[in-house]
């Protein structure tokens, strides 16, 4: 056992020599720390190869039994070892008169040092140029040990084992110097005092002597064997990488990168990297990554610049133990979560360590990427803007609501990527689905199916019935963030309920989150053609009631998305904006999905191109055919063909402002122009419509009766507001020089914006006489009591008049009116600053002559609130005004949009939005 006056101390000299203090037998009482410091100051000029594995006595140390010290020649050259310090207490025995290693004066009795224990396999690099042969120490009985393979070749790990016969030995009666002078037999081996189990650190082999000195005479110097290269830390440079990759706005600390663009990682190791050692990186994504599917790549960390287009890494800075590595991904890499690992090849051994995970997104800033958008202002609007406007209403009364896209909000990126993992395509073939995520058109098509919940437990369940029990009235949503979070919270079950602008707003959030430029589009008088004949059929009965007959319809407005990317499947002439429609209307390839369809192809009538071109073309170009259906004899008669009303005022938010931008000319040529009719005929010829009893194209109908002798239209004569009487006038005009008698049947129905009938609220009949070329107004009054109970959040009423002159075809007059909600006002009371509370007031006045109850205010805004704010507002008496004060906490600077929805028993969804400039 080691005595108390010995300490275990490993010190490393500037020459790289690691000296074990237990080999030097430094006493505890004085000299130990000083000796260690002196050994650190060992002259750097000494050549470790010249030292070899020999041992040397420190100057001033006593000789024992006449053994001579090593000569410069036997030591391989001049060497001056620093003197070992002594102290007054160095001669203490500490209770053991035969303790080894006591540095006393001359003549002090000492025991020989115990032999070193066999060493464990070590990752240390053997000293270059070492003896590759057997080197033995002979003890009592002539046992030998040898060290082989010290040249550092394959399999050399500094291991010790018995020597073969004939190896160099030292036994009793034979000095190591060959003088024949006897040497003292060794004492039996004792356990070593070092914590590692041997005096040599980490299993490094001890030094041996060729000078013939007794092992106990002189301090032992153990040469260090180089450690295996190990990674100690990795710095992903999150802030700088995200800033350069335009992902700094994401409210997460995760590494978020864009494909095709380099990023830097700093790797810290336990030592410097040798020239023969190698580093390789592996990046992989998906459940079954493979190189063939391009979902896994292994690539070296090179010391030169890489010029290829695939995954690559190069050392940019080498600061000793720290390497700054620049890594780049291909511009066609699949998007999603990636895992990166490092493989270290060192001395024939390969070890692997995980570096971390990161998200890889599309890169609209990179020309090589399929989603590249060159205009900086458009990139700012269509990728980075996290709020916007959606246009709603009707062609006669265009309105606007705000929408919080919130693509940078917490957890939205992970939820968006989870949408892909929940898709039918992923569940059927995960490996193929992940591999195809490099293609924006594939990702867009999958998202158009997954945003609706019809087939695959997607995000939102649609509802156009007017009854929303068990869910949320679609009009009450202010944005996508709460919808996506609710979808995740519910265990990925569809959120109830949504309609077209909800689907479009949510899809827009995910597209921008992924880096695909996108915008929300509104098409007024949007056709829903179910039989691919480019026409929609609308039915009325002779009493003026609209009929829910047939599957075609015309929506007051319909909202979809456009995404910007190239069409490698169609050719460069179809690059640019592509239609994606997540509203579940018709199945495509067995699934409720729609698009992408090139906007250019829509304008040119190329309905035979992918994807879903006939349906999208009809939405903006279909002819509207009106039919009069008589139930008594089950007959129908064509009334009118309208080639101009479908596809009006196609709108989107303007770049950099809240104003409306009309893009109708991007979808179609001017109505009635020769180009417009030419394109229509081209589309019809490609589709080869099926002529049958069902809905039929207007271009294949027999001739109808003569043109009508009268015309009619509805005119608004009063204020259109919820709670007030609706005042209209039916204007009839005699187009001939003969007197006409007109029989008029009129109705009014509350409806949903897509034409779904809710309830009849008014009807009237009249017989009107018109003198030649006379124009006459017939008043229409619908009281609040008549429509109150049946008005939906759309606030829409459809009025219809069937005007019949004897022996002539009926004239159908129709108008959808929208009633205004009372005003909801938001006011900011303080100057907005980041991380400073801001007070906001909400003002609302009850316009009714009755109280309103169940009042709730919902507020949200990206960069202004974390999540949403729900405030219960007390009931309001008739004509009472309410003022609600609440607080927001901005988290990001810039112009942000605050959105509010006020609902009560009489007003399902009153909207307000306010732009707030936030300073740092």
Task: Give the whole-angstrom CA distance, residue 103 versus residue 217.
Answer: 10
Q: Residue 602: CB partners within 8 Å, gap ≥ 6? A: 579, 613, 616, 617, 620, 621, 667, 668
Angle at which helices 412-421 and 440-450 cross, to 10°: 90
The answer to whether the CB of 412 falls within 8 A of the CB of 484 is yes
Task: Give the whole-angstrom CA distance, residue 331 versus residue 314.
Answer: 18
Task: Give the whole-angstrom CA distance, residue 884 versus residue 398.
Answer: 29
The answer to whether the CB of 389 falls within 8 A of the CB of 521 is no
What are the φ and ψ backbone dihedral angles of 8, each rounded to 5 degrees? -95, 115
Task: Give the whole-angstrom CA distance, residue 336 versus residue 342.
Answer: 20
Phi-psi region of 868 (alpha: psi -120 to 50; beta: other; left: phi over 0): beta
Residues in the chain: 920
- Two structure tokens written together for 781: 């009054």
Q: Residue 375: CB partners within 8 Å, gap ≥ 6? A: none
Pairing between β-strand 397-404 and β-strand 278-285 as defined by DSSP bridges: unpaired
Nearest CA to 118 out of 192, 62, 68, 14 is that of: 192
What count of other Cβ atoms lies within 10 Å of the Cβ of residue 678? 12
The tokens 């995760």 sit on which residue?
254
DSSP 8-state symbol, 115: P
Q: Residue 184: CB partners within 8 Å, gap ≥ 6? A: 65, 112, 214
The tokens 């609710």 sit on which residue?
486
454: three-class secondary structure by DSSP: coil
- Two structure tokens written together for 496: 């109830």
The answer to whether the CB of 574 falls within 8 A of the CB of 452 is no
Chain Cα centroid distance, residue 141: 72
The answer to whether the CB of 208 falls within 8 A of the CB of 137 is yes
The tokens 């005003």 sit on which residue?
823
Catalytic positions, please? Answer: 500, 558, 581
Distances from the Cα of 832 to the Cα of 176, 199, 835, 839, 841, angstroms: 87, 67, 9, 9, 14
The answer to whether the CB of 457 falls within 8 A of the CB of 490 is no
Task: Give the whole-angstrom CA distance, residue 258 versus residue 268.
Answer: 25
Nearest CA to 480 out of 558, 392, 386 is that of: 386
């Amino acid at each position: 056992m080691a005595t108390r006056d010995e300490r275990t101390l490993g010190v490393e000299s500037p020459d790289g020599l690691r000296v074990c203090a237990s080999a030097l037998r430094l006493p505890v009482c004085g000299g130990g720390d000083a000796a260690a410091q002196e050994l650190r100051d060992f002259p750097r000029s000494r050549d470790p190869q010249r030292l070899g594995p020999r041992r040397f006595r420190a100057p001033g140390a006593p000789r024992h039994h006449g053994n001579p010290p090593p000569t410069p020649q036997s030591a391989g050259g001049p060497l001056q070892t620093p003197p070992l310090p002594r102290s007054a207490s160095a001669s203490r025995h500490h209770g053991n008169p035969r303790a080894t290693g006591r540095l006393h004066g001359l003549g002090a009795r000492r025991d020989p040092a115990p032999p070193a224990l066999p060493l464990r396999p070590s990752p240390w690099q053997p000293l270059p140029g070492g003896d590759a042969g057997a080197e033995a120490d002979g003890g009592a009985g002539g046992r030998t040990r040898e060290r082989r393979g010290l040249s550092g070749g394959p399999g050399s790990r500094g291991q010790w084992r018995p020597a073969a016969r004939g190896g160099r030995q030292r036994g009793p009666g034979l000095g190591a110097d060959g003088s024949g002078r006897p040497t003292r037999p060794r004492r039996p081996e004792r356990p070593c005092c070092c914590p590692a189990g041997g005096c040599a650190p980490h299993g490094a082999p001890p030094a041996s002597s060729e000078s013939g000195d007794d092992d106990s005479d002189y301090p032992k110097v153990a040469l260090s064997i180089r450690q295996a290269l190990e990674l100690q830390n990795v710095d992903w440079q999150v802030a700088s990488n995200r800033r350069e990759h335009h992902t700094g706005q994401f409210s997460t600390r995760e590494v978020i990168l864009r494909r095709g663009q380099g990023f830097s990682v700093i790797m810290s190791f336990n030592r410097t990297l040798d020239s023969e050692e190698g580093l390789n990186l592996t990046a992989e994504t998906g459940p079954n990554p493979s190189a063939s599917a391009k979902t896994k790549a292994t690539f070296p960390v090179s010391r030169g610049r890489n010029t290829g287009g695939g995954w690559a890494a190069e050392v940019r800075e080498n600061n000793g133990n720290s390497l700054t590595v620049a890594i780049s991904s291909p511009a066609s890499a699949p998007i999603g979560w990636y895992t990166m690992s490092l493989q270290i090849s060192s001395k024939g051994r390969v070890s692997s360590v995980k570096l971390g995970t990161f998200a890889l997104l599309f890169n609209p800033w990179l020309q090589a990427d399929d989603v590249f958008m060159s205009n900086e202002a458009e990139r700012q609007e269509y990728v980075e803007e996290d709020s916007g406007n959606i246009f709603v209403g009707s062609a006669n009364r265009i309105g606007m609501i705000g929408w919080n896209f919130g693509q940078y909000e917490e957890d939205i990126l992970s939820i968006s990527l989870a949408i892909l993992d929940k898709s039918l395509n992923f569940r059927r073939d995960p490996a193929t689905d992940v591999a195809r995520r490099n293609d924006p058109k594939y990702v867009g098509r999958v998202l158009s199916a997954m945003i609706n919940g019809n087939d695959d437990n997607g995000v939102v369940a649609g509802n156009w019935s007017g009854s929303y029990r068990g869910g949320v009235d679609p009009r009450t949503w202010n944005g996508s963030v709460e919808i996506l979070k609710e979808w995740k919270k519910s265990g990925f079950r569809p959120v109830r309920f949504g309609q077209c602008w909800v689907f479009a707003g949510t899809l827009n959030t995910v597209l921008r989150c992924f880096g695909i430029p996108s915008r929300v589009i509104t098409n007024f008088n949007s056709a829903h053609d179910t039989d691919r004949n480019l026409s929609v059929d609308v039915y009325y009965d002779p009493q003026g009631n609209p009929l829910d007959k047939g599957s075609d319809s015309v929506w007051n407005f319909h909202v979809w998305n456009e995404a910007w990317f190239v069409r490698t499947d169609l050719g460069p002439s179809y690059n640019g904006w592509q239609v994606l429609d997540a509203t579940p209307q018709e199945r495509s390839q067995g699934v409720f999905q729609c698009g992408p369809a090139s906007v250019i192809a829509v304008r040119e009538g190329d309905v035979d191109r992918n994807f879903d071109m006939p349906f999208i073309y009809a939405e903006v170009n279909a002819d509207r055919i009106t039919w009069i259906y008589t139930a008594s004899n089950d007959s129908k008669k064509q009334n009118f063909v309208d080639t101009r009303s479908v596809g009006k005022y196609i709108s989107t938010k303007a770049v950099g402002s809240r104003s409306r931008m009309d893009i109708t000319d991007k979808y179609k040529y001017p109505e009635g122009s020769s180009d417009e009719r030419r394109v229509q005929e081209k589309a019809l010829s490609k589709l080869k419509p099926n002529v049958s009893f069902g809905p039929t194209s207007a271009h294949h109908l027999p001739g109808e009766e003569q043109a009508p002798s009268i015309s009619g239209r509805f005119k608004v004569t009063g204020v259109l507001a919820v709670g007030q009487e609706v005042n209209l006038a039916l204007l009839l005009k005699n187009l001939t020089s003969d007197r006409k008698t007109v029989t008029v049947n009129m109705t009014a129905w509350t409806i949903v914006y897509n034409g779904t009938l809710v309830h009849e609220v008014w009807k009237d009949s009249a017989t009107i006489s018109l003198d030649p070329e006379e124009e006459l107004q017939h008043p229409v009054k619908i009281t609040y009591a008549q429509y109150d109970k049946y008005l939906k959040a759309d606030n829409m009423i459809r009025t219809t008049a069937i005007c019949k002159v004897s022996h002539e075809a009926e004239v159908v007059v129709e108008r959808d009116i929208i009633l205004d909600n009372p005003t909801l006002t938001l006011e900011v009371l303080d100057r907005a600053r980041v991380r400073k509370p801001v007070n906001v007031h909400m003002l609302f006045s009850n316009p009714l002559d009755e109280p309103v109850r169940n009042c709730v205010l919902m507020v949200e805004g990206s960069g202004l609130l974390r999540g949403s704010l729900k405030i219960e507002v007390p009931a309001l008496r008739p004509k009472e005004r309410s003022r609600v004060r609440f607080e927001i906490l901005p988290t990001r600077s810039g112009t942000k949009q605050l959105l509010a929805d006020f609902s009560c028993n009489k007003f399902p969804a009153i909207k307000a939005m306010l732009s707030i400039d936030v300073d740092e």
